Chains A and B, each alone.
Chain A
Amino acid sequence: MKRFLSITLALTMSMTMLTACAQKPAESQPASSAAETSSAASKPVTITHWYWADNSDYSAKMQEMVKDFNATNKSNITVVAQEYPWDGGAYSENLFTAAMGGGGPDTAAWKLTSTPLFTSNKLLANLDNYIANWKDKDDIDPSLYNTMKQAGGSDSIYVMPWNTQVLYVYYRPSMFKAAGVSVPKTYDEFLEACKKLTRDTDGDGKIDVYGFGMRGAKGGQEPWGSFVWARGGDFENLTTPEAIAGMQDFIDLYKNGYAPKTAPTDGFNEIIANFKSGKTAMTIHHIGSSKDMVKTFGDDVAAFPFPAGKKQWTSMGDTENVIFEKCQNKDAAFEWLAYLATGKGQETWCVTTGNVPVSKRVQQMDEFQNNEFMKVSIEGQFSAGIFPILDTTTEWINTTWPNTVASALSGKTSAADAMKTLQEGLYGKK
């Protein structure tokens, strides 16, 4: 055994020596590469970027933008954009898992709700200095920078604005006309419209058109929030009588048959498919769907802001970009983010998706000034807000909200009990 060990040791030593031999030339590299370091600007840099796209057109457009940036930037930067599905928020979870595991991209498309999770784990790069020294800094409204700061829970900016989307109600004018309904101006009129628009159009005793395309799966908390606020509630305390009344309205729309039976599990794809197939007369989404809707219906689609009740609130969807702390070339990464925020990328993306630009210059373009859906977005902007950004928010959105609301819609849980569960899910048990 002793001999065996001595032989093994000898072999190990010889291997170490071989390794040492191989390492020597590498150690001498810094001197020879000094010149290369000094010309870092022209040194090729690759930035990996993660994003999601709501449809194949947007996906293709993002790849086009990347090509354009790669061809036009003067810093020899190559962006490699990798698409991942949004999947009701699973995108952010996957991004977090990848980043915590030491992988993931250099930059990524972003939602504000994820910020505390990432900043508390020190995964994001601080953008304060980059923004302070950025020539286009003033092209973005200062209030947006403040929102980005609030999301991170500090005085620093970790998130670069990109575009916003305000939720509003899409409707089919032809269906309104057939049902004798005019565009609702108040919350009560809206509830009444849901009822009147639910119709058996062929007389076979079955409902063919539902008044409201309700989203009960992940992401449905955004339109649901408008009901809570319309009755006078808010997100600070979901157990107030006003907030419960809003929940009760939401439940009643389903129980009374004004929304499809599949509503508890309907997500983005389902509400859009139902609206496009004529199964629903109204549904709630943002301007990102407008081009697709117009392609399907031509003039027979329009929009109005979610009407005011005692109060008015609509969800401000947001999309930003971030740089990860582990990124080795943050200067290059910021150049890419700047291209998206105020450069050609901002223009191309917002014209394609119809999203509200954050760049003041782009906002003034004709495409945005003369767009009917953009007008509704801008009209709804004053009542637009976001959900409380807490470390519980992601789980609340992905699990607590859809399951609790599904239970309430089925009648198993009362509106008051459901709101108590939602309150505890968001703020913890007291």
Chain B
Amino acid sequence: MGSQLKNIAAPDFKEVIGLLHKKTTIWPYLLIAPALIVILAVVFVPAVNAILMSFQSYDLRRPSQIGFIGLENYMEVFQDSLFWSSLVRTALWVIFGVGFQFIFGFILALLLNRKFKGRGIARSISLIPWVTPGVLIGLMWRWIYDGSYGVLNDILLRLHLIQDKIPYLAQESTSFPSVVVTIIWQGIPFFALMLMAGLQGVPNELYEAADIDGANKLQQLFRVTIPSIKNTIYVTTLLRIIWVANSVDVIFNMTGGGPAYSSQTLSVYIFNKANSLNLGYSSAMSILLTLLLLLVAVPYLKNMFKNQEA
């Protein structure tokens, strides 16, 4: 059988190679096919499945009731007060989380872009929050904030800044700001890293010319540096908006969305609902979150490309 195959395969293989060389249009398709298949399998199929699920009563606790229910999940979501409060919290989570990550990340990038002794070590250390897994960050900060044994209370008490221990994660008024601080801490290095890469691409001649024109440091920052790295800022901010809006790990491990839902963002609500096995309902909320993110991302990208062309 082996020799039989050899006789068939040998001439055909040469023909295939020859054919592929001639028909160059086939090559690109063949080359992207593996990646395309993987993307279809792990992104497209689950996404379509989630869309279909959002129109079904898909609660695994009640398998006998699984079936198509049209827009009922969406109607229920719109009447759900927890959905709206989580949505508002998601907006605050993104605005404050990404906003402060950008500000502190930019400052860090400017500092690390200067030449000083030990810069390599400083750059490496500054990356620690970014390379630490989100679950670990959640657990670590939960202990830092702990109302009984947390190090934050201990430091503030020693500095006489507070009179009594504060249960940061157990109070509705402080739990959400506490998790926002954590996400800011986590995301600063990413902004710093990306912006630093952008800063290194700004030609020195621009600063020399600005010097000759008499521009001070602040003017150089706003007239030379920021316009030069505008595209990096755009892309990095967009990525972070999407990631932060979708992030679950930090909040879930610090508060689980509580107490009294006070730190529950939409992604955490979706996760909790999916965890309680109501997959239809959580899919409907996921679709809405995706649409909302698209509403932000599309005009944002349009504006970026428009500026690029200009």
Contact = CB atoms under 8 A, between A and B. Distances in A.
Interface stretch (A73-81, A127-135, A398-406): A398-406
B259 interface: yes
Contacts, number: 120
Interface in B270-298: 272, 275-278
The 3 closest A-B pairs by CB, nearest first: A406-B259, A407-B260, A395-B276
Size category of the A interface is 35 or more
Interface string B169-180: 111100000000
A406 B61 contact: no
B148 A410 contact: no
Interface string B254-266: 0111111100000
Given A96-B277, A260-B148, A394-B61, 5 more contacts: A4-B16, A7-B12, A21-B1, A93-B277, A273-B149
A393 B260 CA distance: 18
B148 A270 contact: yes
A392 interface: yes
Contacts of B172: 406-407, 410, 412
* Contact residues of A: prevailing secondary structure: helix
Contacts of B149: 273
A410 B64 CA distance: 39
Contacts of B64: 120
A192 to B, nearest CB: 25
A249 interface: no
Nearest to A13: B8
A121 B63 contact: yes
B161 to A, nearest CB: 16
A260 B275 contact: no
Contacts of A265: 147, 167, 169-170, 255, 258-259
Contacts of A121: 60, 63
A261 B259 CA distance: 13
Interface in A209-240: 216-218
Interface of A: 1, 3-4, 7, 10-11, 14, 17-18, 21, 90, 93, 96, 100, 116-117, 120-121, 206, 216-218, 260-266, 270, 273-274, 277, 279, 391-392, 394-395, 398-399, 402-404, 406-407, 409-410, 412-413
A171 B206 CA distance: 74
Contact of B19 (A7, A96, A262, A270): A7
Given A260-B148, A403-B259, A394 B276 contact: yes
A261 B147 contact: yes
B167 A262 contact: yes
7 contacts: A3-B19, A4-B26, A17-B1, A96-B277, A117-B61, A117-B277, A398-B272
B143 to A, nearest CB: 11
Contact of A403 (B26, B169, B170, B260): B260
A406 B260 contact: yes
Contact of B23 (A4, A263, A404): A4
Interface string B123-147: 0000000000000000000000011
Contacts of A1: 23
B165 A261 contact: yes
A116 B63 CA distance: 11
Contacts of B167: 260-262, 264-265
Nearest to B61: A391
Nearest to A407: B260
A391 B62 contact: yes
Interface of B: 1, 5, 8-9, 12, 15-16, 19, 23, 26, 60-64, 146-149, 164-165, 167, 169-172, 255-261, 272, 275-278
Contact of B259 (A10, A273, A394, A410): A410
B61 A392 contact: yes
A4 B19 contact: yes
A262 B61 contact: no
A399 B272 contact: yes
B199 to A, nearest CB: 42
A407 B85 CA distance: 15
A233 to B, nearest CB: 22
Contacts of A392: 61
B4 to A, nearest CB: 9
Given A21-B1, A403-B259, A273 B23 contact: no
A337 to B, nearest CB: 26
A410 B260 contact: yes
A33 to B, nearest CB: 26
Contacts of A96: 60, 277
A410 B261 contact: no
A264 B170 contact: yes
A273 B148 contact: yes
B275 A398 contact: yes
A116 B276 CA distance: 14
B170 A263 contact: yes
A402 B258 contact: yes
Given A14-B8, A398-B275, A264 B62 contact: no
B167 to A, nearest CB: 4
A10 B9 CA distance: 8
A402 B167 CA distance: 16
A14 B276 CA distance: 49
B258 A260 contact: no
A407 B149 CA distance: 24
B289 to A, nearest CB: 19
A24 to B, nearest CB: 11
Contacts of A7: 12, 15-16, 19
B148 A274 contact: yes
A100 B60 CA distance: 9
A264 B261 CA distance: 12
Most buried by A among B164, B259, B276: B259
